[in-house]
Amino acid sequence: MDPSKLLPVPALLALALTLLLPAPGLAWSRFAHEVTGHLAEGDLSPVARAAVAGLLDGQGLADVGSWADQVRPDRPETVPLHYVNGPMDVLVPSAADFNLPQGNVYSAVLGYSERIADVRLEREQRVEALKFLVHFLADLHQPLHSGFAEDRGANDVPALYRGEVINLHRYWDNQIFASVQAVFDSRQFAAVLRARHGDHERRAWAASAPRDWVIEARGLIFNGLYPRPRGDALSGLIEEDRQRLAGPIAVLDESYRSVWQPVAERQLARAGARLAAALNHIFEAGRSPFAPPPIPFPPSPPVS
pLDDT in tens, 18-29: 333 333 445 689
Q: What is the pLDDT of residues 204-232, one digit of tens each?
A: 999 999 999 999 999 999 999 999 887 66
Q: How far is CA 91 from the centre of its chain?
A: 17
The pTM of the full predicted model, rounded to 2 decimals, is 0.88
Phi and psi angles of residue 250, each rounded to the nearest 5 degrees, phi first:
-80, 160
User: Which of 23-37, 122-136, 286-300 is predicted with the least confidence, judged by mean pLDDT?
Assistant: 23-37
Cα–Cα dist 65/57, whole Å = 15
pLDDT value for 236: 56
Q: What is the pLDDT of residue 20?
A: 33
Task: Please give the pLDDT value at position 241.
Answer: 60
Dist. CA 105–CA 84, nearest whole Å: 6
Q: Which are the contacts of 227, defined by CB distance < 8 A and separation ≥ 6?
A: 8, 159, 168, 250, 251, 252, 256
Q: Is the pLDDT of residue 169 over 70?
A: yes
CB 60 within 8 A of CB 48: no
Taking the domain 3-84+101-285, which CATH number applies? 1.10.575.10
Distance (Å, whole) CA 25 – CA 154: 10
Q: How confident is the model at residue 118 (pLDDT cuts 50, 70, 90)?
A: very high
8 A C-beta contact, residue 157 and residue 168: yes
Can you state the angle between helices 210-220 and 105-117, rounded to 10 degrees?
150
Instruction: List, for residues 246-294, the tens digit of each pLDDT value.
Output: 567 889 999 999 999 999 999 999 999 999 999 999 999 999 999 999 9
The pLDDT of residue 230: 77
Confidence of residue 1 (pLDDT cuts 50, 70, 90): very low
Maximum Cα–Cα distance for the chain, whole Å?
A: 62
| pLDDT for the residue 243 | 53
Task: Find how far residue 49's CA is from the centre of its chain.
Answer: 24
Q: How far apart are the C-alpha atoms of 235 and 232, rounded to whole Å?
A: 6
∠ CA 45-270-97, rounded to 5°: 115
Peptide bond into 298 cis (omega under 30): yes
Read off the pLDDT of each residue in 106-127 and give the average, rounded to a whole number.
Answer: 98
pLDDT average, residue stretch 133-157: 96
Mean predicted confidence (pLDDT) in 68-89: 95
Please count the other Cβ atoms lying within 10 Å of the Cβ belonging to residue 35: 33
In terms of phi and psi (left: phi > 0; alpha: psi -120 to 50; beta: otherwise), the region of 276 is alpha
- Predicted pLDDT at 58: 87
Q: Is 296 helix (H, G, I), strand (E, B) or coil?
A: coil
* CA of residue 220 relative to chain centroid, distance: 13
Q: Give me the pLDDT at residue 237, please.
A: 57
Q: What is the pLDDT of residue 154?
A: 95
